[in-house]
Structure 1
Amino acid sequence: MNRKLLCVAALLVLLLSNCKKDSYDYKMYSPALSDVDSIYLSATDKMLIADGQAKLKFIVEAFRLVKLPSGKDSMEKIILDQLPANSIKIIEERSGTEVGMEYSTSTLPYDTVKFHAVIGDKQSTTKAVALRAKPGLPQKLYVDVIFHVWELNTTHPTYDVSSYQPVTYEMLQTAIQNINSAINNKLSSSPNGASANIEFRLATKNQNGATMIQPGFNKVVYSDNVKVNPLATTFNPNDFTNYINTNKATLIWKPKEFLNIHVLPYGSNTSMGTARATKQLAPQPGEELIPGVAGIAANEDDFVTDYVNTVCGMPRTLFFPGFERKIEIFQFIGEFYGLYVPTYRANITNSDYCYDTREYNTSNQSNYVNALKIGVDNEKYVADNVMDDSRYPSLLNSITLDQVNRMRSVLARCPGRMNAKTQ
């Protein structure tokens, strides 16, 4: 055995002694400015509010032409960080100034600004962005919120103390704080971001005027008593909606005074079964019809008090978003007040009735896995809208001016949703 080991060791020494350093000096490819054959520039939006806060954050990509052995040519993306420092220049054409990788303005020197990117001797196509005047801050509004939080009875056979997680009061407080920060433009420099000047607050008194020990928190403990079919082995959405409608005196507080949110034991892919506003008060002088709200209401009491029409339903999974993610629930509240998820719907221009939201095509799978979206106009942008589907990557930290105007119109003129206060 020792003789074999000695032979192997001697052979290794012989092989190593015959190794010579390759005379070729290998280097990693490092692109030069002359390698750039094509430049892509996205201004990330078609409009920009001139308030000094809103910004265009440009997206630049560079490509080089690679000739393949097959005879075909391929455009290969260049890693921009490998280019010499300060190689990328963004030029605003109307003024002729270099603006850097971000652009904002507090004045209206032109109705439209135009940009192109330059790397070496190559230039991108020009992208135009319309400037919008800074909007005035609308009147401050308050919305009193009551969370009806459904929790499984600890005596139920399916209750597992080791895995069941209740929705805590602290989670509700965090959710409200996150909403107010996003819709009041405290987190974002989005190109068309604006402040709704609306404060959602946990109701301090119940519908009878009594002070609540935990503001805005109504815990609903459920068991088999809510089942429509007592013999059913599982719960289904109809069990909860039927129970709410049967007990609406205690489970739907006065819709003209409260936003009733039911946190239901559903998963994130379950339809909530609620409806958007179906009627609006006739427009007064200076007002226009709210697009997408078909009916005309007789008065502000012209609504049905039931789960479908006067409740904002949301799945309890929203309060357990996972590692390094925030509790974001506004998508469901926004839908209650007339807003839509800004995704492309075939044959509908501006399918959320807002001209300043950026929409992406859901048929592109990359839009589900990255916050960097490809819009319906094939331009790239980073998703940040508070109405983006919270199941997929987005910053969820801004609301646009058109969304603000639409939401406030629904709050003011759609019966069953007219629950805002001025103090």
Structure 2
Amino acid sequence: MAGNTEPLSPRAKLAVTAGKAAAAVSRAAGRGSGSVIGGKVALRLDPDLLGALAQHLDVVLVSATNGKTTTTRLIAEALRASGPVVSNALGANMPAGITSALAGGSDAKYGVIEVDEKYLAGVARDVTPKVIALLNLSRDQLDRAAETRMLAEKWREGLQGSKAVIVANCDDPLIVWSASSSQNVVWVAAGQEWKDDAWSCPSCGGVMQRPGDDWFCGECGFRRPAPTWALSGDHVLDPHGSAWPIHLQLPGRANKANAATSAAVAAVFGVPPQVALERMYQVQAVAGRYDVVTFQGRELRLLLAKNPAGWLETFSLIDPPPTPVILSVNARGADGTDTSWLWDVDYPRLAGHPIFVIGDRKLDLAVRLEVAGLDFRVCETLDEAVQLAPPGQIELIANYTAFQDVRRRVGN
């Protein structure tokens, strides 16, 4: 539990030391940050290490299909107003990566941890969080992620009896179903742009009714709970009805929603909305996403979109036509190897943009764009696409490993 400052056992100390050594070897070999391999080594030596590292922290867990890395970063910034924070800011969000992050935060007061959806219940058992933030659930990585209703059910079962405050998006029926087994829920009206995974009732399977921003099941009565926090345009409404302006350097409605949830989380720890939101302005980019970089004399804005819901939000961010757009899609292990989700993305929204297609699965994407009736060019490399793009800042949208490929190529 937070507040318990028992020193680490000799076994735990050995595990931490061995994990840091493994991570250092991995970095020296040029194989990335080493956080995952370091965590794996440490957990192999002490399977209870995650709980031991978290015992002195007030822990926040953040999980969702989209937006968890950004929201984790915003919450961490807000909580730094009242003490040091340790966080897995680079998105290594499975137990090994989380263990590595916490091992580097012995002086921290708070642990703000992004958690992969599959591991949320297990990590929550290990670290006894004070707050769990649940943002959204939608289809993602079809070959590894459970069907969304099944995942919501696992969350519901796993969080039952948790003493954590659950800060949850009341506009997503799957999130409401997940959180409804918990004793203490703070509902946030954060919105839901992508609704295609929430047309049937997660409680009974009936058809969901969606008048305006409301939703309910006409068959069993499962319905949208009343929020105590809400995103309203460019403001966050707190439980007292006060409106606090959101000023972010991060673009788009989705990030305002992330900020609203983050303000509600910060308030659990006594950080006032004004202080929390002012601190969030410091965040300019998150692990490279939203960065504007110069490459071959051109400006590229780097945008990450991993699934249909994420692409929909990203399309709302890009500058209007004739802004050139480069699209890059891979299907490696971290992306999910099934690309059938491309058919769920509303690519006709890109009509009028000059489009250039790259990535391992450029031909899969090309077929999808062809069917959508869009004009595009398939290119072998990022360099070629940039050279062919007409003048102006280029919007580059990529899924997970394609985004990392681009960052390496542009030196970001």
TM-score (norm 1): 0.23
Greater RCO (CA < 8 Å, at least 6 residues apart): 1
TM-score (norm 2): 0.24
Bigger-Rg structure (1/2): 1
Q: Which has the higher helix share?
A: 2
Q: Which has the higher strand share?
A: 1
